[in-house]
Structure 1
C-alpha cells in the first residue's frame, strides 16, 4: 500500500490518475510516473512528489495542506497613512467584494482610454507580386554592388552536384548594413533556401559568404515583415490576474521563442480587478496572439494597431476607474456629501498598501532598509523568510547548514531569483553583495523604493499635522511639469532587452560553420559556470548604465514658498509637493528637521548616496494632494451579492446586460467613476471617501454581510410571526403550549420504554439483539453460551 500517496492505493485510481498506466493526470501536486518524469528529492517541504512546485499533499491524511499564510497583515497606520483632507462623515462600503467591482482602463499619452471593442486580428497585408520588370530592376540594382561574375559563381554553386562545393565570399568593406540586407534578400529571392548567406569576420575583414545548403549550415528563416509598422500594439483585457502574469502566459502560448520580456506595457494593473491596457511587441504577427489566447477565459486580446515605437513603463497619462462599493448603509445625503468633497478637495496622495507587501513581520520596506544600510546578509535572510511555496524552508536550511545545504535542498528546476541567490552564496559564502546582485534590478529597486515610499508617507502625515491643509511658508512648488516625471526611474525596459536579444539572435543566424563550431566549443566551456553568473553580468552592466544616467539626471526646479506667496492665494495644496529622499532633490525648509530625524534614526543621510552605485537613490517629487477628474456616481440597489454590477469591456462586446441592478433590491451599492493620474492609488481615494481602513483584512471581514443579514432577518421574521399568533389568539397559543408539553411528555415516556426494552433484550441468554438508534436495524448475534461452545470445539480440534 502506498501510504505517501493515498490516492494511488486503489487500482482504478492508479489507472485514472496519471500513475502506472499514464492516465489523464493526477490531482494538483502530483505528476505521475510518466515518461520523462524526474523526481526532485530533498526539497525543503518534506518528501517530494516529483512536482517542481511545493509538495502540498499531507501524507497519510488524504487531504491537501493549506499553504502557510501570514496571520496579521499590514494596516494603513503601519505605513504612515493617518490623515484625511475632508471632514465629511464616512460610511460603510465594501471595496472589491467581487473582483468585477474594480475595473480599470488605461489612458495612453494621447489621452485615449483603452477599451476592448474588437477581438479579430487585422487583415493580413497582401504580399506584392514582383513582376519581371521589378526583378530586372532588382538585379540591375545588385549589379551595381555585385558584378555579373559573382552572380555566375553563385549560380554555379547552386547547380553544383559536388558533395563538398566551395563557397562564394565577397568583401563587404565600405558596404552599409542596408546594402548587405538588400543583397541577402535578392540572393534569397533568386535561389531560395538552396543558398545560405551569412556575414563573417575573418582576420578583421568583414565578408559575405554564400554556401550551398547542407546539414549543419543554418538557414536564414527570417520572414519579411510586411505589416504597416515595426511594432504591433494591442489591448489586453484581463480578469483577476496581474499584468506580469498575463504577459508570461501570453508569451508561453505564442511559442518557445517568445519571452515575457518581449512584451512591452506602460504600467502594471491590479490583480483583483478587470482591467484593459495596451501591450506592444516587435514584429510578432497579430494572428499568433489571437490563436494563442483563443481558449484563455481570463485574458482577451484585440484592437490591433501598428506603430514605430515600443511601449515602456511610464508611457501613460493615467487610468480610468469604474468601482462598485457594496452594502452601502448610509443615507443618500451622506453619500452625496462625501462624493462632492472627494471631487472638489481630492485626497492625500499616499502610497497604498500594495506598495509594501502584505506581511506585517516582513514588509518590503524592511528589506529595502537593510540594503540601504549595507546589511546585505540580513536582507537576504528577510527575502528568504518571506518566501512561500518550494522555498518556504529555505531560511531554516540556510541558518542550520549554510547556503550550500540550502542550495542542495532546492527543487531541481527552481530557477527564480531567490534560488539564484542561494546558489551564488553556496559558491561564494562571503560574497553576500554578489549574491544579492543575482536578483533582477527591478526587484532590488522594488525593495528600495518601498522604503522611500514609507518615508514619504510618514513625512506627509507629519507635514499635515504641523501645518494643516493649506500651503505654508517653506513648502515646495514645482516650476516644471512633474506629472510626466517617472518617480522611480527604471529606464531599462524589458523590450529593450528583447531588441538586444533579437540582434544577437540575428548575428548567430549569420555565423559561418567554423564560427558555429567555435561557438559550440565556447558554449561548452561556459556551461561550467552557472546561468546565474550570466544574468549577474547582465544586471551589473545594467546597473552601471543606470548609475551613470542617475548621476547625469538634473534636479527638477522647485520654488520655496514665502509668506508673500502664501498670502497671495495663488497656490493650493494640489500644487504642493514633497520629496522622496535622494541626492537630486531639495527638501522643504519647514520639514527638513523631520527628514533628518527619520533618516538619522535609520543610519542614513539626506543624499541617500550609497557606497555601491546601484543602491544610490536620486529621489523625486510627488504631489501631496490629488483631485480626481471626471468624477461621477450613482446609488443602485441589488439582491444577488455575487452578481456583477458593472459591465466590463468584454460584457459590452458580447452584448451582455447587467440584470442584477433592481429597484426593489435588498442591498444598496455606490457606483463611482473617476480618472486618476499615473502612479496614484484609487484605494487611497476610496479611503478618503469612506473614512475606513482599506486593508484587505478589514474589507474581507465585512464581506459576509448577506449571510449575517439573512440569519438576522430569519430570526426576526420567526419572532414576529410568533408574536402575531399570540396576539391574534391567546387561547390558541395557550392550547398550543399545553399540546406541546403533552407531546414532550409522550416522547420522554417512549424513550424510557425503549431503554427498558433494550436492557431486557441484552439479558436474554439465547439471542443478543443490538438496537441501533440511528439506523433502526436489528442484527442477531451469537449468545455468550454459543461463543463458549465454539471456543471449546476449536480446542478439541487442535
Structure 2
C-alpha cells in the first residue's frame, strides 16, 4: 500500500459527486431569502404558524371519570408540567433534564462508594403495599379507586402486549384534594402500589399517567427489578441502597449505568460491585444504587435546586442574528445565565430561523412580559408553554428550508439554456445527493481566526492561546475590533472591558472573568467557564468537523464512488450521527468484489475517543492528521473544561427530501411552476427542501450550483 505524502495529508479542497455543469446566482441577498424552520422529532415544523391554542398549558378536568389527553408538542420527549407543580418536584420522572455525567460506571473511579460490597437487594415490603391500598381506599371514593385500578391494568396490558402508547400519553385525574399533606400521601401511595405510573399535581388536583421511564428500564432489566428500583426511589430513605440482580455482561451493565445516570443522576449514583459465583466460576458483578449525599449547612443542594427549577419552552424566531448573541440577550433580560437555555441545533445567522428552545428558571409569564423588548432585537417568541425538561443537542429530525437564489445566470462559457441547466442540477442532487460537508458557517466564514483553530488549541490544553485566538480582531476599525486589538497589545482585561460594547455579551463575560482571575493558564480556564458547556464544546467540535471535511475529500479523491475494503458502513439506514460503533461494519474484500454496498452507506468518523477508523488509506490519513496537529496522544477529553468528546460517525453522502422549486421571471408577473415550460429569462429560483439533522443547505446548494457559496 502506498504511503501518504504530506500533500495527501493536507488535502482539504472540497469536491463534488455530480457531473452536471451547474449555474450561478446569489444566495442570502437578504435574510428573508433564506428561511430555516426546525423539524422536530415527530416530523412537525416548528414555527409560529402552529395553532397557538395547542400550546396552552393543559387544563385537566377535575372529574375523575375522564381520561385526559395532552395536546401535541413541537418539542418532543419533553413532558408538559405546570410551573406550580409543587408535589411533582420530588418525583422520579419529573427530574430536570440536564445531562449529568455518569456518576460511576464500569471502569470509572471518579466517584467512590464505601468500601463494603453490597450483595443484598433492597425491597419495599408487602406490608407497605398493603398500607398503600388502605391509604388509597381512605383517600379515594370507590368509583375513583376502581377507575385507578382499571387505568393501571389498561396501561400494564398495553405494555405486556408490546403495544406502544399513543402520543400524547393518556392521563387520569383523581380529583382535587385540598389538604397538602393528604395529597403528598396520595402521591406516594399511588406510586408504591403502581410503580409503573407517575403522579403530578396541579393546583390541588392529582393526575396519574404512565411512567415511560419504567417501561424504558424494563427493556434493560426484569420487571421485578424495575418495580423494586422505582419503589426504592420513591421511599427516599437516606443511607439506603438498592442492588440489581448480578449481571456478567459488562456492555449491558454500562447500558444500565448510562440509563440510571441520564434519568436520575442528580438523585442517585451507581457502582458495579464485583463478586464471584464459585459454583459456576462466572462473574457475579451487580450494579448498586444509592442516594447522593445531601449538602451540609444552610445552603440548599445545587442538584435539588436544579430539579425544582421550572422550564419554559418556546419557539424562537430570529433574523440576521447569531444564535449565541440571541441567547445572551435573552439571558440578560430574563435574569438567568446562557447555560440555562437549551436547544436542539444551531441555526444560521444571515437568515430568518425558527427553532425550539427551553429556558430553565423562567416561567411562561416572565417570558411573555418581555416580548416587546425581544421584538426590538429582530427576534420573536411563540408557543410559550411550561414543560418538565430541557432540550438536548440533536433532539430534532432535521430542518426545512425556503430559499431564493437571485440573479440566475449560466456558468462562464456556457451557452446552454439556463432553465435546462437548473433543472438538470436539481434532479441530479435529488437522485445522487451531495457530499455531506460541514458548512462554512460552522467555522466562522470570513473570519480571520476560525472556530476550528480555537478548538485545536483547547484540545492541546493551550488555554491562553485559545483566549487570544478568540479575541483576535478582524481588519476593521469598529469599536469591537478596537477593543480586541487593545487586549492583544496590553492583556489589560479591565481596560478592554471599558472599550467593549455592551451588546458583545460573550466577549464581556470572558473579559470580566479574565479581570478577576488574570491572563494565566488557570485564569483562562476559569474564563472559559463563563461560557456554557454547549459553547465550550462547540469549538472542539468545529476542529473535528474541519478534519471530517478534509477526510471526506481525501476519501473521494482516493477511491471515488466505489465502496472498498476497509471502508466503514452504517448498518442502520435510519441512524443519525450519534449511533454506536456496534452499528458500524468494516467492508471486506469479498464485499468490495461483490459491490455489496453503495456510497451513501459509507460513513467516516468524527474525531473522538470512542470511534473506529477505516482500515485502508483513509485510516492512515487520519493518523497523519493527528500527528500533523500534535494530537498523537490526545484522548479527546479536556478535564480542565469538563469536556468529553466521544466522537460519532457521519455519512459521506446525503440527499435532500421533499424538493420543490419554481422559476420567477424578472417582471414577477408570471411564476413558472416545476415541470412547466419557461425560457432562459428567469431571474430567480425559489427552492424548498428538507435536510436531515446536521446537514447544511449551503452545502447542498454548492453541489447544485457547482461553485463555492
| Superposition pairs of residues 161-560 of structure 1, within 5 angstroms | 232-250=312-330, 256-257=334-335, 261-281=339-359, 286=364, 289-294=367-372, 296=375, 298-303=378-383, 307-330=387-410, 331-359=418-446, 361-386=448-473, 392-393=481-482, 396-398=485-487, 400-403=489-492, 416=505, 418-419=507-508, 431-439=520-528, 440=531, 441-479=533-571, 483-486=575-578, 555-560=581-586
Once the two structures are superposed, what CA deviation does each residue of 1:283-336 show, in whole Å capped at 9, x if it has no partner? 865455445325726434434566544322211010111211112234222111
1:87-107 Cα offsets, whole Å, 9 max, x none, are 001111211122211111211
CA 1:97–1:333: 2 relative to 1, 3 Å: same
Q: Does 1:595 align with 2:622?
A: yes
**Preserved contact between residue 327 and residue 338 of structure 2 (Cα < 8 Å):** yes
| 1:639/1:665 contact within 8 Å kept | no
Secondary structure of 1:589's counterpart equals coil
2:581 and 2:565 map into 1 onto residues whose CA distance is 22
- In the alignment, which residue of structure 1 is the partner of 2:75? none
Are residues 668 and 421 of structure 1, via their aligned partners in 2, closer, same or farther at CA, if it must alter by over 3 Å? closer
Describe the shift of the 1:406–1:80 C-alpha distance in structure 2 as closer, same or farther (beyond 3 A). farther
Distance 1:566 1:396, change over 3 A: same
Consecutive unaligned residues of structure 1, counting only runs of 5 or more, are 1-77, 146-174, 179-200, 208-221, 488-553, 647-662, 695-798
CA distance in 1, matches of 2:536, 2:524: 12
Match of 1:34 in 2: none
Of residues 607, 612, 620, the one that matches 1:581 is 607
Give the match for residue 109 of structure 1.
41
- Cα gap change, 1:406/1:483 in structure 2, threshold over 3 Å: closer, same or farther? farther
Give the number of the structure whose residues are more often strand, by fraction: 2
Distance 1:418 1:477, change over 3 A: same
Unmatched 5+ stretches in structure 2: 1-9, 64-140, 142-174, 187-233, 238-293, 411-417, 673-677
CA positional deviation for 1:390: 5.3
Query: Residue 408 of structure 2: SS of its match in structure 1?
Result: coil
Q: Which residue of structure 2 lines up, in the alignment, with residue 532 of structure 1?
A: none
Q: How many residues align?
A: 462
1:308 and 1:143 mapped to 2: Cα distance? 19
Q: TM-score, normalised by structure 1?
A: 0.50
Across the aligned residues of Structure 1 and Structure 2, the Cα RMSD in angstroms comes to 4.7
Asked if the contact 1:320/1:674 (under 8 Å) is kept, the reply is yes
Residue by residue, what CA displacement relative to the aligned partner does 1:433-470 show, whole Å, maximum 9, x if unpaired?
A: 44134212333322222221111111111111110022
Q: Give the CA deviation at 1:363.
A: 1.9
Match of 1:618 among 620, 633, 646: 646
The structure with more radius of gyration: 1
Report the Cα distance in structure 1 between the residues aligned to 2:405 and 2:584, rounded to whole angstroms.
39
Separation in structure 1 between the aligned mates of residue 679 and residue 565 of structure 2, nearest angstrom: 54
Instruction: Name the SS of the counterpart of 1:320 in structure 2.
Output: strand
Aligned match of 2:706: 691
Structure 1 distance, partners of 2:403, 2:176, is: 60
Distance 1:334 1:690, change over 3 A: same
1:611-660: CA deviation from partner (whole Å, max 9, x where unpaired):
756466432211111011112222221347xx9x99xxxxxxxxxxxxxx
Please say if 1:82 is aligned against 2:14. yes
Check whether the contact 1:632–1:673 (CA below 8 A) recurs between aligned residues. Answer: yes
- Paired residues for 1:35-114 under 5 Å: 80-114=12-46
- Matched ranges for 1:701-780 at <5 A: none
Q: Taking structure 2 as the reference length, what is the TM-score of the superposition?
A: 0.55
Distance 1:293 1:251, change over 3 A: farther
Is the Cα contact below 8 Å between 1:397 and 1:405 reproduced in 2? no
